[in-house]
């Protein structure tokens, strides 16, 4: 079974790429963002570490995580984003490894681990191939405003705290540029997948 890492900044189109890989090639999609939400919802030790670093302002009155409050603090600077990643990565990585093992046992042809931080977390080292998905800043801005229900200033703050495209591409085996139509994006995915999967695997 092939393990594929899918990285790139927020709003670049990683989910679109992974959706097509799932539908066309039967690749199991492991969504790093969903796992991150799961661990902060279910792991008290993770939430305690976040509170120790960012303060009680990230908590709702009932003691659960206020994601918007955390995002406002964590994406205020590259240093704070790095702190968020440092705290959460170990919990996320454990969950990803568990899902990869389950997919392998189920006979999946490949899994795609989708997450902006798979390189920093070390997950990429365990991948057979890493794909960077990049897109123009304006396109990413509109995508995360629509996806997350945030205003332009919040979206810019979030994007500006992330690594530049060149950093992702330098750490990847393949690059997909999301600059045109959905069909053009899918053609690039096909070319990349032909390079990753042997004919008998596809």
Neighbours of 67 (CB within 10 A): 16
pLDDT in tens, 51-109: 999 999 999 999 999 998 999 999 888 899 889 988 998 898 889 999 999 999 999 99
Mean per-residue pLDDT over the chain, rounded: 91
Q: Are 148 and 41 in contact (CB under 8 A)?
A: no
Q: Is the pLDDT reported for residue 182 higher than 50?
A: yes
Average pLDDT, stretch 189-200?
Answer: 85
Q: What does the block give as tokens for 54?
A: 């960012």
Q: Is the pLDDT reported for residue 176 higher than 50?
A: yes
> What is the pLDDT at residue 155?
93
Q: Which residues contact 41 (CB under 8 A, 6 or more apart)?
A: 64, 65
pLDDT confidence of 202, banded at 50, 70, 90?
very low
CATH number, domain 2-190, options 3.40.50.2000, 3.30.450.20, 3.40.50.1470, 3.40.50.300: 3.40.50.300
Whole-angstrom distance, CA of residue 194 vs CA of residue 22: 14
Percent of residues in the chain assigned helix, strand, coil, to nearest 5: 60, 15, 25
Residues 61-67: contacts with CB within 8 Å, 24+ apart?
65/40, 65/41, 67/37
Domain definitions of the chain by residue range? 2-190
> What is the pLDDT at residue 121?
78
Q: What does the block give as tokens for 148?
A: 């997350």
pLDDT confidence of 201, banded at 50, 70, 90?
very low
- Write down the pTM of the prediction: 0.81
pLDDT confidence of 199, banded at 50, 70, 90?
low
């Amino acid at each position: 079974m092939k393990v594929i890492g899918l990285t790139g900044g927020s709003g670049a189109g990683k989910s679109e790429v992974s959706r097509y890989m799932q539908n066309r090639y039967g690749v199991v999609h492991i969504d790093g963002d969903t796992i991150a939400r799961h661990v902060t919802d279910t792991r008290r030790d993770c939430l305690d570490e976040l509170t120790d670093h960012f303060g009680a302002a990230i908590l709702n009155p009932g003691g659960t995580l206020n994601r918007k409050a955390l995002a406002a603090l964590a994406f205020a600077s590259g240093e704070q984003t790095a702190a968020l990643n440092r705290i959460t990565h170990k919990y996320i990585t454990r969950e990803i490894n568990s899902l990869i093992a389950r997919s392998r046992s189920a006979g999946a042809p490949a899994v795609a681990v989708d997450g902006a931080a798979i390189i920093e977390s070390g997950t990429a080292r365990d991948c057979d191939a890493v794909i960077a998905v990049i897109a123009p800043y304006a396109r990413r801005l509109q995508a995360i405003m629509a996806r997350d229900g945030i205003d332009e200033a919040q979206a810019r703050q979030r994007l500006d705290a992330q690594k530049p495209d060149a950093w992702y591409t330098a750490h990847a085996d393949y690059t997909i540029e999301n600059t045109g139509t959905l069909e053009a994006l899918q053609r690039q995915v096909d070319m990349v997948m032909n390079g990753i999967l042997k004919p008998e695997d596809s």
